[in-house]
Amino acid sequence: MDSKTLRTAFGRFATGVTVITCRSSDGEPHGATVTAFMPVSLDPPLITVALTRTSRACAYLDGAPFAVNVLAADQAEVAMNFAGRPAADPVRWEPGPTAPVLAGTAATVSCGPYRTDDGGDHLLFLGEVAAVETTTRPPLLFSDSTFVEVGRPATESVWAGSFDDPHSGWFDATCDFTPISTRPAPTVAGTAPRGRP
């Protein structure tokens, strides 16, 4: 698989932009810009982030607490700063519940270490959520190698009334599930038992 073609295809998936913050080996605040962030579980509350193995942050995150800073639409320079292009303005750090956090973000998810997994040329850091903070600031997005802002809604209501409506839960009290039968399938004379699909 050609890596450039694959990167272009991955770039068609618009994502939010985060800065993963932690402390370096000498105790100083450290951050890395990451678009590969994903919520994983509500119970227990887990998230995962993927960082390239060559990132300095990889050495700091294994077994250590960290925070996911969801950048606001006006923080493109902050994203570039932690991607290796220093910004003119100084970084605005704040103390966080588990690790240093950034000021002015759309949301912050503070985590304790849960597990580290192999992700090819990346490492996958699974974190257990200890605290969250959200604001009304719109988030910064990244698509096709460009920072973009949230536009108008594509439809009136994408979630409302669906089985995964976040306002009523993934499956609310009105859902009825029929248990999968564990009885063997009936046989017809002269045929072998049919397997379940």
pLDDT tens sequence across 2-51: 777 776 776 665 678 999 999 999 999 999 998 889 899 999 999 999 99
More confident residue, 180 or 76: 76
More confident residue, 72 or 173: 72
Task: DSSP for 84-135, please give it.
Answer: T---SSPP-EE--SSS-EETT-SEEEEEEEEEEEEETTEEEEEEEEEEEEE-
pLDDT of residue 154: 65
Evaluate whether residue 171 is within a structural domain: no
The separation between the first and the last C-alpha atoms of the chain, rounded to the nearest angstrom, is 33
Structure tokens at 113: 């270490």
Evaluate whether residue 169 is within a structural domain: no
More confident residue, 89 or 15: 89
pLDDT of residue 56: 86
Mean pLDDT of the chain: 80
Domain membership of residue 140 as a residue range: 3-147
Evaluate whether residue 163 is within a structural domain: no
Evaluate whether residue 108 is within a structural domain: yes
For residue 85, what are the contacts with CB-CB under 8 A and spacing of at least 6?
A: none
Evaluate whether residue 156 is within a structural domain: no
Q: What is the CATH number of the domain that holds 90?
A: 2.30.110.10
The predicted model scores a pTM of 0.74
Q: Which helix (H) or strand (E) holds 48?
A: strand 45-52
Tens digits of residue pLDDT in 91-134: 999 999 999 999 999 999 999 999 998 888 889 999 999 999 99
Evaluate whether residue 189 is within a structural domain: no
What is the count of structural domains for the chain? 1
